[in-house]
Amino acid sequence: MIVWTFTLWGQASEADEYVIPDNNLFLSAKNIDNGDVRGFSFMDGSSILAKSPSTFRSEQVLAVRTEERNERERIISYQVEKGDSLNSIADRFDISVDTIKWANSITNGVNPGDDLLILPTTGVLYYVEKGDTLSHIAEKHKASGEDIIAFNDIEDETGIVPGDQLIIPDGEKPAEPVPQRAPTTTYTGFAAVTHGTVTQGDHPGHANAVDIANNCGTPIYSGSSGTVSRTGYGSWPAGNYIWIDYGNFEALYAHLQDIYVSSGETVSGGQQIGTMGNTGLSTGCHLHFETRGVSNPFSHMQRGMTMN
């Protein structure tokens, strides 16, 4: 067994001792107490190369800051209490009333028990779309591109991909385009997918999607007959999810607590496929129901309405 002593990544204050096991494949730190063992491998019989697990570039929750930062630099969830108003909540968190309205798609007031997303600063919560650039996002929201980069810890203009969640400091929500009339499909026979209260409807930024909240463990049903395309877990944003192919469109059931079906399985309308949960990027127990390729059969449902 050979013992090597060297310094990691500019930490010149004190060298660490590393041991090469008999198989000569990896090095492990003898003096690391937190279990953070870094891997190394030999190159050409003499050099040492730092190794790291394979990584894949995926969506980032840029708006949620690291744990080392101040807690008010994070998006938090706040449950409205008796006596609260938009103005009092805005004063409490030192943000604008519009910031709360924009982040939660509020057109009127709030009611006790409502769960709100509270941004750490006045501005806009924005999901990066295909073709977006930081300069375009800044211009659209009348904000500073440099402020967006700094607040979200982005290295430069190329540091975003579709699906990333950004906070636009001091940004303004763009005026919504006038909806164009287009043929829509009527889903006669598409049943309710769960029981609960709509907390977020179909709107720009939440396209073809409806969120229905209830207690964790509330049954989730397939809205019609179809075939399960895939199931799994995604830390951002879906959590435990099920995709079902209904022939002319697919539907996503996300943030589930339990999944009762598997890929390739045929399901019928009204069949229980799982239970409501709070997995992934979620602020409370709810179902995120989304369709791809067609309008959501529940797009008429607005915040506060009940799905029975």
Task: For residues 250 and 152, state if they share a domain.
Answer: no
Task: For residues 201 and 299, state if they share a domain.
Answer: yes
Task: For residues 204 and 267, state if they share a domain.
Answer: yes
Task: For residues 211 and 294, state if they share a domain.
Answer: yes
Task: For residues 138 and 212, state if they share a domain.
Answer: no
Per-state percent for the chain, helix, strand, coil, to nearest 5: 10, 30, 55
Nearest-angstrom CA–CA distance, 193 and 165: 27
Whether 131 is covered by a domain: the verdict is: yes
pTM to 2 decimals? 0.42
Q: 160: closest CA among 60, 64, 248? A: 60
Whether 269 is covered by a domain: the verdict is: yes
Task: For residues 86 and 41, state if they share a domain.
Answer: no
Nearest-angstrom CA–CA distance, 241 and 91: 37
Count up the domains in the chain and report the number: 3
Is the confidence at residue 17, as pLDDT, over 60?
A: no
Whether 188 is covered by a domain: the verdict is: no
pLDDT tens per residue, range 79-135: 999 999 999 999 999 999 999 998 888 877 888 998 898 999 999 988 888 888 898
Residue range of the domain that includes 43: 2-51
Nearest-angstrom CA–CA distance, 202 and 126: 15
Is the confidence at residue 32, as pLDDT, over 90?
A: no
Task: For residues 44 and 142, state if they share a domain.
Answer: no
User: What are all long-range contacts of 156-161, with beta carbons under 8 Å and residues at least 24 apart?
Assistant: 157/133, 160/60, 160/62, 160/128, 160/132, 160/134, 161/57, 161/58, 161/59, 161/60, 161/128
The DSSP annotation for 105-155 comes to T-SS---TT-EEEE-SSSEEEEE--TT--HHHHHHHTT--HHHHHHHTT--
CATH of the domain at 90: 3.10.350.10
pLDDT of residue 53: 44
